[in-house]
Amino acid sequence: MTSFLIKGVSVVGGPATDLRLRDGTVAEVGPDLPTTDAEVIDAAGLVALPGLVDMHTHLREPGREDAETVATGSRAAALGGYTAVCAMANTDPVADTAGVVEQVWRLGRRAGLVDVQPVGAVTVGLRGERLSELGAMAESAAAVRIFSDDGHCVADPRLMRRALEYVKAFDGVIAQHAEEPRLTEGAQMHEGEVSARLGLTGWPAVAEEAIIARDALLAEHVGARLHICHVSTAGSVELIRAAKARGVRVSAEVTPHHLLLTDDRVGGYDPVFKVNPPLRTERDVAALREAVRDGVIDVIATDHAPHTVEDKECEWAYARPGMLGLQTALSVALSVFGPDWRLLADRLSCQPARLAGLTGHGVDPAPGAPANLTLVDPAAQVTVEPAELASRSRNTPYAGLQLPGRVVATFLRGEPTVLDGKAVK
């Protein structure tokens, strides 16, 4: 095992120092460490962050390997600065058994670029009719802790209650895709001025908020952990703020695209901007940003949702919802929040690692800590080129956009997965 000496790096925005990585851990931190036999990385001007952790990634394997695989998605993740990702359960077959989650977990180990932590489906086949084998998935080699029907809402309140009761026994968490299905039938975009002008069926904010209000009450009643996926409205933020204030065990995530883009993008009918929940308004974006700053929203999660050209470059109404996110999340967050490295490390690494129970991740580089970290060049500007992305799909909404910050290197347990901005395998 090679050891690395990272010279002159700012640890989460602090003063320049050296880091020695050896045997999978951060062995030493301090100025002017001796070189010994280490491989030296000149990191002057770079910032070291704990390796990013994505609570919400669609890797598409098994079933849609034409859109993404565990290997291609892992590569995109490492290049984006990630050392761990939670793989959503809406695969084909659905990750609703110990067998499927173990398969995904093993594929992640084999790719070896990030820790792939499978999410288990709440209900069999994501059909919202009966609970899947939650306990068997928790006890499997994949040790599932997060359960989600993401892509679908667990709409039946009785089933949602049972799911919360079940996972409470092993401190699991139900991650809800908050969308009251009766209020979003046929929906194509956010319901508001733009949808009225375009004549497209709207997805009203209340469809998200009604489920969050209900589930916060259920989580409070049961005393179990609830996580809200991809929060997209100002009203949702206020519901989560109120639930947290009265002690409900609720956490929340927001995506980079909901922090940056608004529904006026739909006007060009380019399906690259079609996503679920939909892009909202300036007012929502402002509230989401504020909620990240004040901690009501715990986590920035990508909802990386690769789709093939056939599923994306078609008429708006037929296009699948979703956009790529793994390789652009840090840059989008940096452009939104500026170089507040403590905030970025917390929302992109520490909080998601804590909520997902990924010990060894989300820890600042310090002596004895596992060497899961990423080195970022904050001065670099990168223009997003879809063809250059590591994902098997091309559906980034940021094509041609110049964004700040570049991931220079990523280390997983002391071994580089990215060096000089390139994946090592």
Question: Which residues are identified as catalytic?
Answer: 303
Asked whether residue 264 is marked as a ligand-binding residue, the answer is: no
Say which entry of Zn ion, ligand DOR, none residue 90 contacts (CB below 5 to 8 A, set by partner kind).
Answer: ligand DOR
- When the beta carbons of 306 and 360 are compared against ligand DOR, the nearer one is 306
The β-bridge partners of 7 are 42
Identify the H or E element spanning 422. strand 422-423
92: Cβ–Cβ under 8 A, 6 or more apart, which residues?
Answer: 62, 63, 64
φ, ψ of residue 189 to 5 degrees: the values are -165, 175
- When the beta carbons of 148 and 372 are compared against Zn ion, the nearer one is 148
- When the beta carbons of 150 and 346 are compared against Zn ion, the nearer one is 150
Smallest separation, CB 254 to ligand DOR (Å): 13
Instruction: For residue 264, give both structure tokens.
Output: 């006026």
Asked whether residue 221 is marked as a ligand-binding residue, the answer is: no
Asked whether residue 307 is marked as a ligand-binding residue, the answer is: yes
Contact pick of 54, 61, 150, 311 for Zn ion (by CB under 5 A): 150
Smallest separation, CB 111 to Zn ion (Å): 24
Asked whether residue 304 is marked as a ligand-binding residue, the answer is: no
118: Cβ–Cβ under 8 A, 6 or more apart, which residues?
Answer: 86, 87, 89, 95, 100, 101, 102, 104, 105, 108, 137, 142, 144
Q: Are strands 82-87 and 173-176 parallel, antiparallel or unpaired?
A: unpaired
Say which entry of ligand DOR, Zn ion, none residue 116 contacts (CB below 5 to 8 A, set by partner kind).
Answer: none
Interaction mask 200-239, Zn ion, x per CB under 5 A: -----------------------------x----------
Asked whether residue 257 is marked as a ligand-binding residue, the answer is: no
Say which entry of ligand DOR, Zn ion, none residue 284 contacts (CB below 5 to 8 A, set by partner kind).
Answer: none
230 CB burial (10 A radius; 0-12, 13-18, 19+): buried
Distance separating alpha carbons of residues 141 and 144, to the nearest angstrom: 8
274 touches Zn ion by CB under 5 A: no
42 CB burial (10 A radius; 0-12, 13-18, 19+): exposed
Asked whether residue 247 is marked as a ligand-binding residue, the answer is: no
Smallest separation, CB 152 to ligand DOR (Å): 8
Angular region, 277: left φ>0, alpha ψ -120 to 50, beta rest: beta
Contact pick of 58, 177, 225, 304 for Zn ion (by CB under 5 A): 177
φ, ψ of residue 337 to 5 degrees: the values are -105, -10
Q: How far apart are the first and last CA of the chain?
A: 16
- When the beta carbons of 26 and 155 are compared against ligand DOR, the nearer one is 155
Smallest separation, CB 305 to ligand DOR (Å): 4
Distance separating alpha carbons of residues 48 and 13, to the nearest angstrom: 8
Binding site for ligand DOR (CB under 6 A): 58, 90, 150-151, 177, 275-276, 305, 320-322
Asked whether residue 367 is marked as a ligand-binding residue, the answer is: no
Q: Which residue has the tokens 């499927």?
A: 100
257 touches Zn ion by CB under 5 A: no
Smallest separation, CB 241 to ligand DOR (Å): 23
Cβ-proximal residue to ligand DOR, closest one: 322
Asked whether residue 258 is marked as a ligand-binding residue, the answer is: no
**What secondary structure, in 3-state letters, does 178-220 show?**
CCCHHHCCCCCEECCHHHHHHCCCEECHHHHHHHHHHHHHHHH
Smallest separation, CB 228 to Zn ion (Å): 10
Say which entry of ligand DOR, Zn ion, none residue 321 contacts (CB below 5 to 8 A, set by partner kind).
Answer: ligand DOR
CA-nearest of 309, 324, 290 to 399 is 324
Say which entry of Zn ion, ligand DOR, none residue 58 contacts (CB below 5 to 8 A, set by partner kind).
Answer: ligand DOR
Which residues sit in the known binding site for Zn(2+)? 56, 58, 150, 177, 230, 303
Annotated binding site: 56, 58-60, 90, 150, 177, 230, 276, 303, 307, 321-322
| Site residues for Zn ion per CB under 5 A | 150, 177, 229
